């Protein structure tokens, strides 16, 4: 499977309709919020250290997305927050999420000391812990963190 992971410079030029449809079928609204926030200028992943990444398959379909923002729950500026991380159901359990997460964390190492996230899903909890995150209650609105040194 030939996959391409790329930084998304302009989300408005990307077709996210299938990601939105599939995520909402699973009961998740955060992919739609990602696109709405981006279109309204509320979150463009364009502050210092921020970035949005996508994964495309061999058919040039967007199959995963995720980004990092400065944490709104820290004043230090050295805490990143994993945001809007989603992999299409038919692309899971193939290492795609792990590859995307590694791309985001490697990018973040020069910008942040730690990365946080929030999830309420047991499957997501297992995925993040298998990829180096640990449970935390150190930061508001965060369930997991990873040291980026």
Query: What pLDDT shows up at residue 142?
Result: 87
What pTM was computed for the model? Answer: 0.93
CATH superfamily for domain 4-147: Gcn5-related N-acetyltransferase (GNAT) (3.40.630.30)
Per-residue pLDDT band at 72 (split at 50, 70, 90): confident
Query: What pLDDT shows up at residue 141?
Result: 86
Beta bridge partners of 9: none
Per-residue pLDDT band at 47 (split at 50, 70, 90): very high
Dihedral sign, Cα of residue 145, residue 99, residue 111, residue 66: negative
Asked whether the beta carbons of 70 and 49 are under 8 A apart, the reply is yes
Query: What pLDDT shows up at residue 1?
Result: 60
pLDDT tens string 101-149? 999 999 999 899 999 999 988 889 999 999 999 988 887 788 899 999 7
CA 64 → CA 15, 73, 74, 95, distances in Å? 12, 26, 27, 11
* Domains of the chain, residue spans: 4-147
Asked if pLDDT for residue 81 goes beyond 90, the answer is: yes
């Amino acid at each position: 499977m030939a996959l391409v992971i790329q930084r998304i410079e302009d989300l408005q030029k990307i077709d996210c309709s299938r990601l939105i449809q599939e995520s909402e079928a699973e009961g998740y609204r955060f992919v739609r919020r990602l696109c709405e926030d981006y279109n309204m200028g509320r979150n463009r992943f364009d502050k210092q250290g921020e970035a949005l990444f996508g994964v495309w398959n061999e058919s040039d379909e967007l199959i995963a997305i995720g980004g990092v923002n400065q944490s709104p729950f820290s004043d230090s500026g050295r805490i990143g927050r994993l945001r809007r991380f989603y992999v299409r159901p038919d692309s899971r359990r193939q290492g795609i999420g792990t590859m995307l997460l590694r791309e985001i964390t490697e990018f973040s190492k020069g910008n942040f000391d730690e990365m946080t996230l929030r999830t309420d899903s047991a499957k997501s909890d297992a995925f993040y812990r298998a990829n180096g995150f640990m449970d935390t209650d150190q930061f508001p609105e965060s369930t997991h963190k990873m040291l980026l040194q």
